[in-house]
Structure 1
Amino acid sequence: MTPFVPRPGAAPAHSYHVGRRDFAFARGDDRPLPTSVWYPAEDAVPDRPAPVDAATPAAGRFPLILFSHGLTSSPTDFEAMLSRWAQAGFVVAGPAFPHTRYEAEKFDAEDIVNQPADVRYVLDQLLGGELRPVIDEHRIAAAGHSGGGITTAGLFSAQRDARLTAGLVIAGTDFQGTPFTGPPAAMLFVHGTKDDTVAWSAGRTVFEAVPWSRAMLTIQDGGHVIESDSFEPITRTSTDFWRWALYGDATAKARIPADAAVNGVATLENRL
């Protein structure tokens, strides 16, 4: 195993309000990629839905996490978790994929093969767009659930994007059986033992194939979706994983086992 060493830095010591902006990206006429972005904000109202195009971004530059949804889903389905990441000091971008999103005009599950390129395109647009001043281009990660987890795996294997230094795969598996490649990256896997859509064993096999620092959070008796009792351990574990991998926060890394133990529904295999 090649260890991942995060870039040194200081994670925020406080929580932020959360703002949200929506962008009408498109990778060609036939690949619209409307993208919601949650970000640390100065003037949003706490404990209310994030305002769209209203909140002023907080001062500073923040790591970016690109989130990919699963089949027949949408980025806003995961807003509760993505907002928590933004509160902790991350910019989080979720594109809606043209042929696998909820109510897609021409649904096509096999279009997942094109989604890593979609994510790369969205990343390019963000790094050249209006939010560029608040994004730290040296601290970028990818995450996804189900088909979005497969998309994320592709960004570290068949369609490796060397700009990514950390990844989170929730209820996903590999991308076309392609080995992981490129520079070391930290990887976190989350999977339920009773997932009847993508088997836990399929996720476990990919976890074992990662040649870098990695961890796996297993939700005992968990299914394919994130349920109420697993939301906190997944959200807390992933947030501290991001704080370590993207900010270099060693204290956050030390909290991960306790995060995983919340509600007593998960076990953690930690090879970080």
Structure 2
Amino acid sequence: MSRRVTATLLATTLLMAGLVGCSSDAPETESAPAPATPPPAASATPTPQVPAGTAPETAFAVGVRQLKLNRDGRALPVTLWYPAAGKAGGAAKRSATAAQGRFPVVMFSHGLTGHPDDYAPLLTRWVAAGFVVAAPIFPHTSRGSDGKLVDVLNQPADVSYALTQVLNLDAKAGDGLRGRLATDRVAAAGHSAGGVTTIGLFTGARDERLDAGVVFAGTAVGVGTAFAGAAAPQLFVHGELDEVVDYAAGKAVYDKVPWPKALLSLPKGDHGRGLLGDVKTLRVVSDTSIDFLRWSLYGDAAAKERLSTGAERGDLATFDDHL
């Protein structure tokens, strides 16, 4: 495993220690800031919000650009990957012309001491399948920051702010993504501390614009499991040999999700392998998450039908399907 991944694992361990006094269902008010947005009343609608449709059948080239955002003094540079015109395959091309069409948006949150580029092998596959991916660099938990770990609890509000700015590009005169964003089809995803951030966006800091979530090696420490708002399908991905966030802890959060959900378990997966390491496992994780996003954001029923058989190929994973 690389030094970068090892550093992420060590930092995540510190997060667990830093939040040890927190309840599994709510943040401890004396030691951590409360989520910025109060939870709305739970919806009585048990079905996903996105209508039926069809996802793109051909792959796209990948473009990449940067957004310089700032939320009340919190610098939030955002890496923005998007489907681009031209031949699919190869490295992401900076400031490439966007492909024709309207594409759902996925907000991705990195882990502790992480950076969006660490996840490019996974995220660019999402983009090639027809999604725009926006990944903020958080001010206190990214690589090279001051490492204020409890600031993870402020990150759901950072993601919501960044999402607003990204969606505004769809109507911004002269912007390369004008008219290219499906602003009503949005998901949140994240790994480790970014998984905590993502869970928070569906619990105490519920962002009702989100139609789906993908949680990699996440836990509810500090953000709780009081899932709220309209039904939003969730995909959890967790290594059974995770040495940082125990598999049982991740599954306990998954069990609390009241909406359509699925759990991709990796019997030989640790905290990072499959996202940042093993090629075969990465293929299963990326293919499964892409079909989940195709279904939950494009409404593609065929993608949903592929999920179970695709996830369990090669004995690399098991799939608990409640979608």
TM-score computed with the length of structure 2 as normaliser: 0.80
The C-alpha deviation readout for 1:150-196, integer Å capped at 9, x for no partner, is 10000000100000010000000115324100000000000011111
Q: Structure 1: which amino acid aligns with 2:271?
A: H
1:207 to 254, 261, 286: 254
Corresponding residue of 1:124? 164
Does structure 1 conserve the Cα–Cα contact (< 8 Å) formed by 2:264 and 2:318?
Answer: yes
Corresponding residue of 1:108? 148
Describe the SS at the equivalent of 1:73: coil
Q: What is the deviation of 1:136?
A: 0.6
Does structure 2 conserve the Cα–Cα contact (< 8 Å) formed by 1:6 and 1:248?
Answer: yes
CA distance in 1, matches of 2:57, 2:266: 29
Q: Are positions 1:93 and 2:134 aligned together? A: yes
Corresponding residue of 1:47? 89
CA distance in 2, matches of 1:110, 1:133: 38
Corresponding residue of 1:271? 322
1:134 to 180, 183, 203: 180
Corresponding residue of 1:15? 59
Q: Structure 1: which amino acid aligns with 2:285?
A: I
CA distance in 2, matches of 1:119, 1:176: 15
User: Residues 162 and 5 of structure 1: is their aligned pair in 2 closer, same or farther, counting only changes over 3 Å?
Assistant: closer
CA distance in 1, matches of 2:196, 2:314: 27
Q: Are positions 1:37 and 2:77 aligned together? A: no
Does structure 2 conserve the Cα–Cα contact (< 8 Å) formed by 1:126 and 1:132?
Answer: no
2:288 to 232, 237, 242: 237
CA distance in 1, matches of 2:242, 2:178: 38
Does structure 1 conserve the Cα–Cα contact (< 8 Å) formed by 2:225 and 2:253?
Answer: no
2:195 to 142, 149, 153: 149
CA distance in 2, matches of 1:153, 1:81: 20
Describe the SS at the equivalent of 2:287: helix
CA distance in 1, matches of 2:229, 2:49: 14
The C-alpha deviation readout for 1:57-80, integer Å capped at 9, x for no partner, is 011111000000000111110111
Which has the bigger relative contact order, CA under 8 A and spacing at least 6? 2
User: How many residues get paired?
Assistant: 268
Does structure 2 conserve the Cα–Cα contact (< 8 Å) formed by 1:18 and 1:83?
Answer: yes
Corresponding residue of 2:231? 184
More strand by share: 1
Q: Percent identity?
A: 45
CA distance in 1, matches of 2:58, 2:89: 16
Does structure 2 conserve the Cα–Cα contact (< 8 Å) formed by 1:160 and 1:182?
Answer: yes
Q: What is the deviation of 1:9?
A: 2.0
TM-score computed with the length of structure 1 as normaliser: 0.95
Q: What is the deviation of 1:5?
A: 5.5
CA distance in 1, matches of 2:88, 2:49: 34
Q: Structure 2: which amino acid aligns with 1:22?
A: Q
- Bigger radius of gyration among the two: 2
Describe the SS at the equivalent of 1:218: strand
Gaps of 5+ in 1: none
Q: What is the deviation of 1:261?
A: 1.8
CA distance in 2, matches of 1:186, 1:78: 22
Does structure 2 conserve the Cα–Cα contact (< 8 Å) formed by 1:230 and 1:263?
Answer: no
Describe the SS at the equivalent of 1:164: coil
Corresponding residue of 2:244? 197
Does structure 2 conserve the Cα–Cα contact (< 8 Å) formed by 1:19 and 1:39?
Answer: yes
Gaps of 5+ in 2: 1-44, 170-174
The C-alpha deviation readout for 1:6-55, integer Å capped at 9, x for no partner, is 322221121111111111111123x1111111111103x543221222x1
